[in-house]
Amino acid sequence: MTETTKSLFETRPPSTLAKSAFVSLYGGVYEHSPWIAEQLYDRGITDAHNTPAALADAMAAIVNGAVDADKLALLRAHPDLAGKLALADLTTSSQNEQMGAGLDQCSADELARFTELNDLYKQKFGFPFIFAVKGFHRTDILAAFERRVKNDVETEFNEAINQVHRIAKLRLEAL
């Protein structure tokens, strides 16, 4: 394997990084929430964290141990899916993920339904609909949206956190 094809985990293992470098590289894994990487670093990064799966599990543990207010802030940091702002003001990761699922190619009817569901969902739950879109088509995502908007608040809060963890793991694997 050449230097250019090595993963970030091979060229700069997390356990070898100073805090500023660690947070710079991994602070965006959870959307607009560098506090997760900061807390993990403060708890200690070891050689055991030098794989995407291990780092994902450790970061998920930070989130799972957080108070509900911090979890809610994390959920609220996520963008709408194919909503009014569509791909306008997204992080590069979110933009690539949504485009990969074809959310930038919604028909007028699909876009209207996403917008309607986004509004209904946020009114009911207080945070945007979160779905780890990688590997799914926009019609699959819309079907999940239709299903999940019917959940109770506790069920959906937990599902949204699980989706956030899946997004973070996929982002770490992509590095």
CB 172 within 8 A of CB 52: yes
CATH code (residue 105): 1.10.3330.10
Instruction: Give the catalytic positions in this structure.
Output: 78
Domain match, 37 and 65 both = yes
Instruction: Please tell me whether residues 163 and 84 are part of one structural domain.
Output: yes
CA distance 96 to 88: 12
Do 93 and 170 belong together in one domain? yes
Count the residues in the chain: 175
151-167 average pLDDT score: 98
**Range(s) of the domain holding residue 42:** 17-72
Whether 62 and 101 map to the same domain: the answer is no
Q: For 78-137, how does the pLDDT look when each residue is reduced to its tens digit (9 = 90+)?
A: 988 775 444 455 566 666 666 666 777 888 898 899 999 999 999 999 999 999 999 998
Q: Identify whether residues 37 and 106 lie together within a single domain.
A: no
The string of pLDDT tens digits covering residues 133-147 is 999 988 999 999 999
Among the candidates 72, 104, 138, a domain finishes at 72
